[in-house]
Amino acid sequence: MKQTARDMAMSTKTITRRGLLLGGAQIGLLGVLGWRMHDLQIRQSDQFRLLAEENRINMRLIPPSRGLIFDRNGLPLAINEQNYRVTLVREDAGDVEAVLHRLAQIVPLTDQEISEAISNAKRRSPFVPVTIKDWMTWEDIAEVSVNAPVLPGITAEVGLSRHYPYGQETAHVVGYVGPVSDYDLERLENPDPLLQIPRFQIGKTGVEARWEERLRGSAGTKRIEVNAVGRVMRELDRNEGDAGQDLQLTLDTSLQNYVAERLKGEAASVVVMDCATGDILALCSAPSFDPNQFVRGISSQNYNLLRDNKYRPFRCKAVQDVYPPGSTFKMITALAAIEAGLVTPEETAWCPGHMVVGTGGQRFHCWKGGGHGHVDLHKALKESCDVYFYDIAQRVGIDKIAEMARKLGLGTRHDIPMLAVAEGLTPDKQWKRSVRGEIWRIGDTVNASIGQGYVLASPLQLAVMTARLATGRSVEPRLIKSVNTVETPLDEQPDLTISPSGLRYIRRAMYATSNDRKGTAYGSRIVADEFRMAGKTGTSQVRRITLEERRQGITRNEDLPWERRDHALWVNYAPFENPRIAVAVVVEHGGGGSRAAAPIGRDVTLRALYGDLPPVEAYPTKDRDRITEMHRRMSLRDFDTSPPKSDRA
């Protein structure tokens, strides 16, 4: 079809417009390319010239400053100290072995250290710095810096390392840091690049381990210019990372130090809780160890000594270990019976020194061979009569006893930031069927009624139990007071669903245990009226006493090997009228609770209430000379609570 003049004019106009658009786009693109070439050649020429000349720009990670840990009064428990060290970057060093041997002529390096450095360098990315030696003197660092031209890839630097001012006293709670191991890396799906740096330290135990990610912070980066032999010429730019979060614990360091000193010579643990808040004021396990040895590198000999010590200094006995609670469990059995309406406080039982149970005629003994005679609830707790609890336990049954135990905090893994917090064991019929494949027997109930048999509890759980008995509320333990100065909210503490009258009966009996002349802990009472305490002794057997031994006479604990002696336990709260603190004490293989554990609990209670070494007038007259001498020794010891110097830079 033949086009008209009008059609041809419109077609020409369209082609012209398209040409203009296409030409404009081409001119714009050429302009952008020209601007980019100018930017690369003029503005960034110095940077790319350096990159072209033997790749002399390196990126390095900047380890963040680890968060600090303080006690409730602001005293530092874990700080950062300056640490002089030398590092090596494999891609800058060239012949790593030759460089290390030259370095060994300047600073002392053993063949083993050289071998480990070579191995670490090969296992890491070529640009990742490998720490060759740390904790060096300033003189050594100066020598390395002067000889930098003949030490390609070697850098002298200042880092930060962890220090624990109170050492053994807080080792189990605070924990310690150590170098990242292959095992640590294997457990993580996407490990932080920081962890690839050899000898980078992470939390291994205690709060340091449980709050590792928050304490660690995040890495920064820096770009540095190095010359042809790897010497750092200048730092081009730096992006600082984020420091780790600071933690404030609920611990009272001065009280913790006192408890640690009081436990010297024992394999024991103590937990002190604030009844109002659940704050853990002291959590101590003895014997302990110096965590600073692990930061700097403990020798194999010293490590083996700690590992093979039969008193187990590595274990935090207060939260990781569980024990038969012995007679400290009797309050639970009594409350279960009262709440079930199966026993009244006035009801009595006859204790001839034993009870025959079941059709098989199995005999269960009371700790007092001659028996207690007629006993009611008050007397049974005060004098710790076993037979009374054998009797009421058979009526109430194990399931109700176990339910009451859980209500009071036993058989529960309490949420505190420490490793391997024990759950304990509050057995019932279902547990024995599912775990042991056996039916529950009446003898199991009788044993459980006095905290023996399958029942197990940690000192932390016993302290929680005591705080709940004292307050009637569901007190939960708390170890973190604040994070970066922001207070940690307290958990709700609803009232226990236990009758107030039943709790009053138990509290009065616990008061009599400490303050009545026939009470098992009368010898360890507090005589200061405003601080009178209520408590309960406990002794748990770790061996079975045979019938033949009973006939010939039971061997005294003192005459047995240490490992076969009974555990000694004690729980208390004070003051009786207005409970402020709850205390639990376990002395491993200490013998009787009234002799070994109650005096420790009384001393710790007074120290916590007075806030300083208590006056001797608060103790019974017979103890005052011993207490005076003990306080004299403690006052000679340097309990320095001034803040040590720390460095975040």
pLDDT, the chain, mean: 87
Q: Mean per-residue pLDDT for 167-189? A: 87
Please tell me the number of Cα atoms within 13 Å of 205 on its side-chain side.
18
State the SS3 of 115-131.
HHHHHHHHHCCCCCCEE
Query: pLDDT value at position 644?
Result: 42
C-alpha 645 chain-centroid distance: 24
Query: pLDDT value at position 241?
Result: 76
More confident residue, 235 or 538: 538
**% the chain with pLDDT above 70:** 88
CATH of the domain spanning 57-249, picked from 3.90.1310.10, 3.30.565.10, 2.40.30.10, 3.90.1150.10: 3.90.1310.10
Cα(112)–Cα(140) distance, integer angstroms: 19
Q: In the structure, what pLDDT confidence band is assigned to residue 47 with cuts at 50, 70 and 90?
A: low
Query: pLDDT value at position 649?
Result: 32
Query: pLDDT value at position 182?
Result: 74
The long-range contacts involving 92-100, CB below 8 angstroms and separated by at least 24 positions, are 92/58, 92/152, 92/153, 92/226, 92/230, 93/121, 93/152, 93/153, 93/154, 93/230, 94/152, 94/153, 94/230, 96/121, 96/153, 99/151, 99/152, 99/153, 99/154, 100/132
Q: pLDDT of 95-115, one tens digit each?
A: 888 888 888 888 888 888 888
Q: Check whether the bond before 644 is cis (ω within 30° of 0).
A: no
Contact 267, 589 (CB under 8 A): yes
Bridge partners, 86 (sequence order): 133, 156
More confident residue, 622 or 110: 622
Q: Going along 392-503, which residue ranges are E strands?
A: 480-483, 486-487
Residues 6 or more apart whose Cβ sits within 8 Å of residue 258:
282, 604, 607, 613, 634
Query: pLDDT value at position 32?
Result: 77
Bridge partners, 247 (sequence order): 69, 483
Instruction: Please pick, among 327, 384, 458, 474, the residue that the annotation labels catalytic.
Output: 327
Query: pLDDT value at position 640?
Result: 45
Q: Going along 26-75, which residue ranges are E strands?
A: 57-62, 69-70
Least confident of 13-17, 276-280, 522-526: 13-17
Query: pLDDT value at position 638?
Result: 53
**Closest to 354 measured CA to CA, from 441, 262, 446:** 446
CATH topology of domain 253-302+311-636: Beta-lactamase (3.40.710)
Residues 6 or more apart whose Cβ sits within 8 Å of residue 369:
353
Query: pLDDT value at position 645?
Result: 42
Q: pLDDT of 49-107, one tens digit each?
A: 555 544 467 667 777 889 999 999 999 999 998 888 888 888 778 888 888 888 888 88
Token pair 């001119």: residue? 27
Cα(148)–Cα(233) distance, integer angstroms: 11
Cα(292)–Cα(284) distance, integer angstroms: 18
Active site residue 642: no
pLDDT at residue 39 tops 90: no
Residue ranges covered by each domain of the chain: 57-249, 253-302+311-636
